[in-house]
Amino acid sequence: MTHRFRWATVGIAVIAILGIGYGFRTAHYQHHFLSGTKIDGVQVGGQTADQAATTLSAKLANQAYTVTEHQSTLTTFTSRDAGIKAPTTAKLNQLLAKQNAFSWPLHVVSASASDQQLDASAINQADLTQLANQIVAKAGTNRTQTHNAKLIYQDHAFTIKAPVYGSEVSTNSVKAALSKAIERHETTINLKQAYVQPTVLANSKSLVSAKKTAQKLATNKITYRLSNHRVTIPRDTIASWLTTSQGKVTTSNSKILSYLTKLSYRYGTVHKTRHFKTHSGSTVSVPAGLYGWSIKVTSETPILAKLVLAGKPTTRTPVIQGTGYHKDGTDIGNTYVEVSKSAQHMWVHKNGKIVISTDVVTGKPVKGTTPSGVYVVWNKQRNATLRGQNDDGSNYASPVSYWMPVDDTGVGIHDSPWQPRYGGSWYLTHGSHGCVNTPPSVMSHVYATVALHTPVVIY
């Protein structure tokens, strides 16, 4: 009994000692990080929150990082450059409160305290952005661009073009690579990790679906009414406009604009030389002026793009700009003003009949010669003052009772009470600065008869 009692007493004493030691160490780890604890990759085991804050501040403030590419150093930076901030004492106390001090014999801590990773708030985003911009600048612009897989049309068929994995970098891609490296405590960063990656691959379901959609859209029938013409856009043309953006079918508006520009040039009249039949029945060639129409391609382009993607058969008249557009294909029509510089005469035609015929004085050659062309009465004004410069450089101001401008350089039709005579060769020595001088006794009738937007043919 004595022997057994002795061993029991020893056992109790050992347990008591161990219990006191366990309790002491447990109390110690209420205020110290467990052995082996890392925060942001830095060993802080056995340290208080204050001690850990000092350790982390020193380590993170001086951590060096290297950016490499093709096994060469592109640049280096410090954690301070990246805007990395050490955890505060308050943050570290929060981690201490989460650790299981009773598990110190096993050196096990909770996941949140074993190796706490930097979060977004631990990095100054403005500093990181500035650093990323500097790295992008050092990387240079002579790089292969990254392209998504896309739909193309060639040889009368749609195919999917594989993506291009380029070497271009962006501020966002570099920031992402830096953040990932910092979180993983990697001090060497391969710039390849920051290359911009394609977001749409060749096997993308959306791209495969887009191919089927484009094949259907290309068969749609879109027809334009252009005066007395009907123009149906060819299937290949529509197909060539279709492409993809982020895997969805869209149109190349630059190609549509180019098509409409060519269409406007072919059927529009504003830029064309006219073969004009004069009052006497002869035909003269008259260059283009302000009169005429064209397709307003900047307005029509988005409309046509929308029609293409809608996929519904459509017939429409495009947005027209200018004057003289007629559904029946007529141009100047049978109501217009005719001015012959050689005859120094003007005729006003209305509904196919000459209602006014008068001698005039046109511009004095060579500097003041009245320009030939098909123009338009774009404004009418009573009691205007015409201003400009004489041949000798002096300024003039000529009051007129009736003013009808026809071009964009200041040429127009108006009364001219200062002219003593009209017609003949008077214009060679006493011609105007380019305008069509009209006898005051006739000009009031001209003003009343000729409406806005009436064509004016000068030859």
d(CA 220, CA 307) in angstroms, rounded, equals: 10
* AA letter at 25: R
Residue range 180-191: average pLDDT?
91
Q: What is the mean pLDDT of residues 191-206?
A: 95
Distance CA 436, CA 413 (A): 5
pLDDT number for residue 120: 45
b/e code 7-20 from CB counts within 10 Å (16+ = b)? eeeeeeeeeeeeee
Active site residue 107: no
Q: Which residue has the higher pLDDT, 393 or 268?
A: 268
pLDDT attached to residue 207: 93
Structure letter (DSSP) for residue 296? -
Query: Nearest CA to 195 among 109, 69, 284?
Result: 69
Mean local confidence (pLDDT), 17-35? 74
pTM confidence score? 0.67
Amino acid at 198: P
**pLDDT at residue number 419:** 97
Same topology, domains 205-322 and 336-458? Answer is no
Task: Give the other-Cβ count within 10 Å of 430's Cβ.
Answer: 14
Please give the average per-residue pLDDT across 403-416, as a whole number: 97
- pLDDT class of 96 with cuts at 50, 70, 90: confident
Structure tokens at 424: 């003949």
| Per-residue model confidence (pLDDT) at position 34 | 85
Distance CA 19, CA 255 (A): 85
**For the chain, how far is it from start to end, CA to CA, in angstroms?**
143
Residue corresponding to tokens 């209305």: 350
Catalytic choice (32, 349, 414, 433) = 414
Q: Where are the domains of the chain?
A: 205-322, 336-458
- For residue 343, give the amino acid letter: A
Mean pLDDT of the chain: 90
- pLDDT attached to residue 113: 45
| Rounded CA separation 354/36 (Å) | 108
Segment 449-456 mean pLDDT: 97
Read off the pLDDT of each residue in 102-123 and give the average, rounded to a whole number: 56
**Residue 181, amino acid:** A
- Residue 279 annotated to the active site: no
Q: What is the pLDDT of residues 234-256, one digit of tens each?
A: 999 999 999 988 889 999 999 99
Q: What is the largest CA-CA distance in the chain?
A: 157
Domain 205-322 has CATH 1.10.645.10: no
Q: What is the DSSP string of 323-360?
A: S---TT--SSTT-EEEEETTTTEEEEEETTEEEEEEE-
Question: Residues 278-293: pLDDT tens digits?
Answer: 999 999 999 999 999 9
Q: Is the pLDDT of residue 264 over 80?
A: yes
Gap between the Cα atoms of 101 and 110, Å rounded: 10
pLDDT (mean) for 6-15: 56
Residue 455 token pair: 């064509």
CATH of 336-458, one of 3.40.50.10860, 2.40.50.220, 1.20.1260.10, 2.40.440.10: 2.40.440.10
Degrees to nearest 5, angle at CA 15 with 10 and 18: 125
Rg (CA), the chain: 43
For residue 3, name the pLDDT band (cuts at 50, 70, 90). Answer: low
pLDDT for res 62: 75
Residue 301 has a CB neighbour count (10 Å cut-off) of 23
If pLDDT is split at 50, 70 and 90, which confidence band does 95 have?
confident
Tokens of 350: 């209305």
Q: Which of 108-117, 131-140, 308-317, 328-337 shows the lowest mean pLDDT across its residues?
A: 108-117
Positive or negative, the CA dihedral 37, 40, 43, 47 is negative
8 Å CB contact between 242 and 153: yes
Model confidence at 220, pLDDT cuts 50, 70, 90, reads: very high
Host H or E run for residue 98: helix 89-98
Is the pLDDT assigned to residue 45 strictly greater than 90? Answer: no
Task: Give the model's pLDDT for residue 94.
Answer: 85
Cα distance between residue 88 and residue 122, in whole Å: 10
Q: How far apart are CA 269 and CA 373, in angstroms?
A: 12
Beta-carbon neighbour count of residue 355 at 10 Å? 14
Q: What is the rounded distance in angstroms from the CA atom of residue 347 to the CA atom of residue 338?
A: 5
Q: How confident is the model at residue 109 (pLDDT cuts 50, 70, 90)?
A: very low
Average pLDDT, integer, range 12-33: 69
**3-state percent breakdown (helix, strand, coil) of the chain, nearest 5:** 35, 30, 35
pLDDT at site 65: 95
Q: Within a 10 A sphere around the Cβ of 380, how many other Cβ atoms?
A: 18
| Upper half-sphere CA count for residue 21 (Cβ side, 13 Å) | 8
Q: Say which of 32, 349, 433, 435 is annotated catalytic.
A: 435
